[in-house]
Structure formats: structure tokens, C-alpha cells
């Protein structure tokens, strides 16, 4: 390197060393302006809860949800034991329309095992499917059989008007429509329940109820008040008439109509209703029995209902009159014809909440019925007088226990249809899910 450039090079090297020293770096940091802050990322908006969405947004959300994700599932199972000690046991006292576990050689039994699938598959269409896995056919127990399979088609946006098509309960009577998971007594009464086997039929029904009353029906059924559910203020329809899961045996449809209204009387909920149906029924007969006047017999009834919901005292009464297939009496006891019938029941109950942390519902129900049971072979004529005293413990939402003592005087379900008297002590454990 030329001697003339050496002083310049040494000066540059000395300056670089000074700049790179720790002290100089600290000084540079103090002198340098702080770097500009990075812009904060945009906040992701929190989605509004579904309840806060406007109706239009809710409908759009429902449209986006596949139909199978809108379905829900629930159910219940009833376990029974009917052989507890009683004052007057009679092993010939049976009731095949009701509890098949009555009578001799019985033990524990599953009375009902229901699984229900339901939901809205469209904003105007809902479906309901209910099989029972504890039905009895002959000597076979715990047989799966269809109870309900229907669709509700809503005719307006408020869902006040609807058509129900498929197999469902016939709108006749209050206790017939009340779910067995919600009813206090063990089985439905003979007088009203003899109108339709399994309470159900295959047909087409129309229901109407204002939006406010539909909500009232739901509240009465879901608030320990023993409601029947929403079968409309007005309901009518046509159906086959031979019974659920049975083929039609003539070309005559049955027709039914019902009007009911739940209202507030002071602070007490009360419901009053009337209903009736008409059709012609084809009876199955066995050897030694005959039919008079052709096997399309007049089958018609009218009934009145009064319900005072338990707040805390409750009362339910229903009575029906009419004509239907039946065996006669005396010399006519092997001849089936359309004959008069009548009967009903009255039930008194009292709801006690928060008794040692549980709800208790003691009840007493009396039943009277004289008439034929058309769905049974030979349509035997029944004479039933029965008193049931019981108490229901609603221990948990998922667990109920009911105990009852029954004093019965009833016609046997089996030929030669003798009159039997006896007492039965029963207990039931119900699991809701």
C-alpha cells in the first residue's frame, strides 16, 4: 500500500472499532428511535348466541343444518313387580288389555321399554318414531313392535294448523292421550281405553291450537302437572278402525272429532273437553261363537272430560257412552252384536313438592265399565269395578317409583269370561332418559 494512503486507512479502522464497541452500541440504541409497533390483528367477532338471532337468521341456520342432525332421542322404561302381599290374592284375576304380568306364575316384568326419535326435518315438517321393546305376543315377551310413526305437516308459519299422517294416537279421551310415562296410575282405565287397542290407529288427522295454547299444553305436560300433550284445541280425522298394527278388514273408515280447552280459573289450570267417533268394526270370533246382523257392526261413542291439574289438589274425570261389538248376557252369551256400553273413571290426587328433597303424588282412582271390548276375540262383555290407591315418588328427573294397591272386581280376559275378584299390590320403577 502506498505510504500516502496509510494515515487515511488507519483513521477508518479506528472509527470502525469505536462504533462496534459495547458502549457505542448502547449509545446507538438510546439515540435510535423505537421501531414502529406492528398493527394489532383484527379481532374476530364473537358469534351471537342462537337465541339472539333474528327469526330470518334462525331459519337460515336451520336450512344449513342437515335433517338428521335435527333429530333428538328420548325414552323411558318401566320395571314392575306384581306379587307383593295383599289381603285377597286371586291368581285368576288378569287384565290382558292392561298389565300382562298379573296372575299366577309371574315375577318381575318390563311393562314398557320405549325409545323415541323425533325432530323437525324441515321448517314445515316434523317426524315422530316410537317403537316399544316390551310388547307381548302370545307367550313371547319383550317383542319389538311399532307404536308411533307419523309426520306432522304444518300449514302455517306459526305452526297453529297441522296435518298428522301415519300411525298415531286417536284424539279420543284425555287419559288415552296422556303418555304412560306421565300418568300416575299403573294402567289406563278400561272404560275409555277399550275404544282403541293401544290407543293408536293408522290415518290422517287435523289439529289446530293457537300458539299460546300450544305452549300451555307443553308446560302442563313438562311441569309435573300430568298433562296430555298437544293434540290441538280442535282435532278430527279419519282412520282404518281395526287397531294399531292390524290390517283393515272392511272398506269403512272411522271418523273422530275432539274439542278441548285448557284455561286458568284463578291460579288453577282447568281443562274441559268433549269427543266422539263413529265407524263399523269387524270382529274376530272363535269356535262356538256367532255373529248377529253381519260383521260390520256399529262402533260409536261420545265422551266428556274434566281435568283440574294438581296445584296441589288435582282431579280428573271422564265418562263415555255408546254402542259397540259385544257378547250378550244369559242366552246371548255366545252371540256377538252391536250393543250399548257405558263407563268412566274419576281420579283424585295431591302433589307435594320438596318432601325430603323429592316430589310425592298420592292418588286414588275408581273405574266403572260395562260393555264389550271389540279388539279381543269374541268381543267379550266386561263388567269392571276397580279402585286403585297409590303414590308416585318423583325422586329424580330420571327416576320415579310408584306403589299401588288395587281392589278389583272384573271379568276375566279368557273364555268362559268369568267374573273374578281380588287385590293386587304392585311396585314400579320408571327410568326416564
pLDDT of amino acid 33: 47
State the SS3 of the chain: CCCCCHHHHHHHHHHHHHHHCHHHHHHHHHHCCCCCCCCCCCCCCCCCCHHHCCHHHHHHHHHHCCHHHCCEEEEEEEEEEEEECCCCCCCCCCCCCCCCCCCCCCCEEEEEEEEEEEEEEECCEEEEEEEEEEEEECCEEEEEEEEEEEEEEECCCCCCEEEEEEEEECCCCCCCCCCCCCCCCCCCCHHHHCCCHHHEEEEEEEEECCHHHHHHHHHHHHCCCCCCCCCCCEEEEEECCCCCCCCCCCCCCEEEEEEEEEEEECCEEEEEEEEEEEEEECCCCCCCCEECCCCCEEEEEEEEEEEECCCCEEEEEEEEEEEEEEECCHHHCCEEEEEEEEEEEEEEEECEEEECCEEEEEEEEEEEEEEECCCCCCCCEEEEEEEEEEEEEEEECCEEEEEEEEEEEEECCCCCCCEEEEEEEEEEEEEEC
pLDDT of amino acid 172: 98
Q: What is the pLDDT along the chain (433 residues), one digit of tens a residue?
A: 444 444 433 543 344 343 334 433 334 444 444 444 444 444 444 444 555 567 666 666 666 789 889 999 999 999 999 999 999 999 999 988 888 888 888 889 999 999 999 999 999 999 999 999 999 887 888 999 999 999 999 999 999 999 999 999 999 999 999 999 999 999 999 999 999 999 999 999 999 999 999 999 999 998 889 999 999 999 999 999 999 999 999 989 999 999 999 999 998 999 999 999 999 999 999 999 999 989 999 999 999 999 999 999 999 999 999 999 999 999 999 999 999 999 999 999 999 998 888 999 999 999 999 999 999 999 999 999 999 999 999 999 999 999 999 999 999 999 999 999 999 999 999 999 9
pLDDT of amino acid 41: 45
pLDDT of amino acid 100: 86
Q: What is the reported pTM? A: 0.83
pLDDT of amino acid 60: 66
Amino acid at each position: 500500500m502506498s505510504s500516502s494512503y496509510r494515515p487515511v486507512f488507519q483513521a477508518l479502522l479506528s472509527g470502525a472499532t469505536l462504533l462496534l464497541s459495547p458502549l457505542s452500541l448502547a449509545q446507538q440504541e438510546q439515540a435510535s428511535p423505537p421501531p414502529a409497533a406492528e398493527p394489532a390483528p383484527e379481532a374476530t367477532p364473537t358469534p351471537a348466541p342462537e337465541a339472539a338471532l333474528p327469526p330470518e337468521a334462525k331459519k337460515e341456520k336451520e336450512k344449513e343444518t342437515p335433517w338428521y342432525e335435527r333429530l333428538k332421542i328420548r325414552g323411558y322404561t318401566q320395571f314392575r313387580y306384581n306379587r307383593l302381599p295383599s289381603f285377597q290374592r286371586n291368581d285368576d284375576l288378569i287384565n290382558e288389555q292392561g298389565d300382562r304380568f298379573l296372575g299366577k306364575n309371574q315375577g318381575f316384568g318390563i311393562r314398557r321399554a320405549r325409545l323415541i326419535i323425533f325432530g323437525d326435518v324441515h321448517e314445515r315438517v316434523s317426524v315422530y318414531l316410537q317403537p316399544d321393546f316390551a310388547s307381548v305376543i302370545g307367550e313371547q315377551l319383550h317383542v319389538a313392535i311399532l307404536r308411533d310413526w307419523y309426520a306432522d305437516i304444518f300449514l302455517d308459519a306459526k305452526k297453529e294448523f297441522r296435518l298428522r299422517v301415519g300411525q298415531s294416537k286417536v284424539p279420543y279421551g284425555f287419559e288415552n292421550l296422556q303418555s304412560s310415562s306421565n300418568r300416575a296410575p299403573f294402567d289406563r282405565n278400561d272404560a275409555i281405553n277399550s275404544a282403541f287397542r293401544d290407543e293408536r290407529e293408522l290415518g290422517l288427522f287435523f289439529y289446530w291450537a293457537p300458539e299460546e295454547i300450544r305452549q300451555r299444553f307443553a308446560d302442563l305436560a313438562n311441569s309435573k302437572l300430568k298433562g296430555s300433550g298437544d293434540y290441538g284445541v280442535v282435532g278430527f280425522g279419519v282412520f282404518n278402525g281395526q287397531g294399531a298394527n292390524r290390517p283393515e278388514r272392511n272398506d269403512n273408515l272411522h271418523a273422530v272429532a275432539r274439542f278441548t280447552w285448557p284455561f286458568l280459573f284463578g291460579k288453577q289450570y282447568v281443562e274441559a273437553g268433549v269427543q266422539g267417533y263413529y265407524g263399523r268394526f269387524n270382529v274376530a270370533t272363535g269356535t262356538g261363537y256367532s255373529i248377529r246382523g253381519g260383521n260390520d257392526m256399529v262402533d260409536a261413542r261420545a265422551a266428556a272430560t274434566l281435568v283440574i291439574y294438581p296445584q296441589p289438589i288435582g282431579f280428573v274425570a271422564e265418562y263415555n257412552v255408546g254402542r259397540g261389538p259385544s257378547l250378550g248376557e244369559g242366552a246371548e252369551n255366545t252371540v256377538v252384536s252391536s250393543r250399548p256400553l257405558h263407563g268412566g273413571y274419576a281420579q283424585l290426587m295431591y302433589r307435594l313438592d320438596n318432601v325430603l328433597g323429592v316430589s310425592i303424588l298420592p292418588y286414588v282412582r275408581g273405574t266403572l265399565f260395562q260393555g264389550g271390548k271389540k279388539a279381543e276375540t269374541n268381543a267379550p262383555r266386561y263388567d269392571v269395578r276397580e279402585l286403585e290407591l297409590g303414590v308416585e315418588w318423583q325422586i329424580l328427573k330420571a327416576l320415579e317409583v310408584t306403589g299401588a294397591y288395587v281392589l278389583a272386581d272384573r271379568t276375566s280376559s279368557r273364555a268362559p269370561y268369568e267374573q273374578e275378584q281380588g287385590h293386587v299390590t304392585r311396585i314400579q320403577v320408571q327410568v326416564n332418559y
